[in-house]
A and B are shown apart, each in its own frame.
Chain A
Amino acid sequence: MVTPPKFLESVVRRLLPPAVREQVLGDLHERYESPLRYIADAASVVPAAIFSQLRRSTPIPFRLLEALIIYISIFAGARVPFEFDRPPDSSQMALLTMVALAGLVWHDIYYVRPPELEVITELKRDFPWLKWIPLRPVRELYTAMFLPCLVLDIVGLLGPSVRALLNLPRGMHLLGLIIASILISSLRRRIGKRRPSVGA
């Protein structure tokens, strides 16, 4: 029986959202004839699967609302003196918002929540009110938004000329993203985030 090359399969596996990975990899395996055909199939399927997952996870108006929340939160965080040496201008805040939003999108498509630690489960059993504190979702959202912004900061470290050229903001924008994570988490809980996928 002809099977797809392991390398190609592992690349496609990494690109596919986890919720549809099993079925799509199976379908591609079943259709396999040659490496070229496999690549052509994957090139058609992977973007479609990502797009579909993105549409299913968060509707577009809701995503725009999240973008607005991030922008306002970064704006609010930038008012605190220790956050930036000087407040960023609107284009810098827009850049930060876009980068943080990209992290959020990545999170919604690819993140699979690991099972909760046993200690936490036991604690929640003993103290039921603990489950009302959404520490975990806030932390996950914060990490998703913070990491791409950190990349932006690292790029800025290449030198003042790079920073000026790309008009990068200076600072870690910690506070703004914390505010955004709390707001988005509570918004998602309130509105009811759509299921990530049926296959999840």
Chain B
Amino acid sequence: MPSRRRWTGAVHPVGGHRRDREIFRGLGFAIALGPRSRPTGTTSSRSTSPPITRRWTCTTRCISEVPPTVDEPGAGRLLLRTHTSPVQIRVMHASEPPIRVIMPGMVYRSDAFDPSHAPAFEQIEGLAIDEGVSFVDLKATLTHFARRFFSPSTAVRFRPSFFPFTEPSAEMDVECQLCHGSGCGACKGTGWMEILGCGMVHRACSSRAASTRSATPASPSAWVPARITMLRHGVPDIRLLYEGDMRFLSQFTAARSSTGGDT
């Protein structure tokens, strides 16, 4: 006969970024969040807790797809940011190396809410700044991350790419988690899925920020936890992550014996 149980709760599969954090903690990274109410550009940003995120950017620059925008009387038109990167790099240069942090932050897009797009989601930035940090360290660190996140045998590849603030820039692909490389609809037949962008910070970015440390190499990277979580758990529709469906969320309870999967 069935046993007697109590209600068991579950941490959201993307909430807290438990897995990302554990893997990066093992590599000497801490997790950093921006104090939200602190005005940007103040001297307090040089303290040990790194203020990171500026949620708003002004609409002076053209962005091909305009993200959600608000119009505050007096404050002008404000865009909700589409990426967290450039500001973070600048600010992180205010702290002393060695810096190894991962930084989650919400980003906003003008995408419709459909099975593969959400208009708001968290992005995680990884950042390592220290003498001697090189492209080799970047690739090794992120390959380690991908193999720990998915499985030790996961194939990983780096492709040259272009981001305005890093050089060399790369995109990291992992083998398609559905077909494992043979090619399917989900990976458009390529056998690969793009999960992360990264590079070495361009000096033009760093020198504008903190002149004294401009020579310190920095390697940032950015990924979307929802995306890799969906791949890992086979979540077919991103909306499941945002709709509070108990039938979905309760599958992530730690003590779920029927499937025994790792959350």
A complexed with B: no
Contacts from A to B (Cβ < 8 Å): none
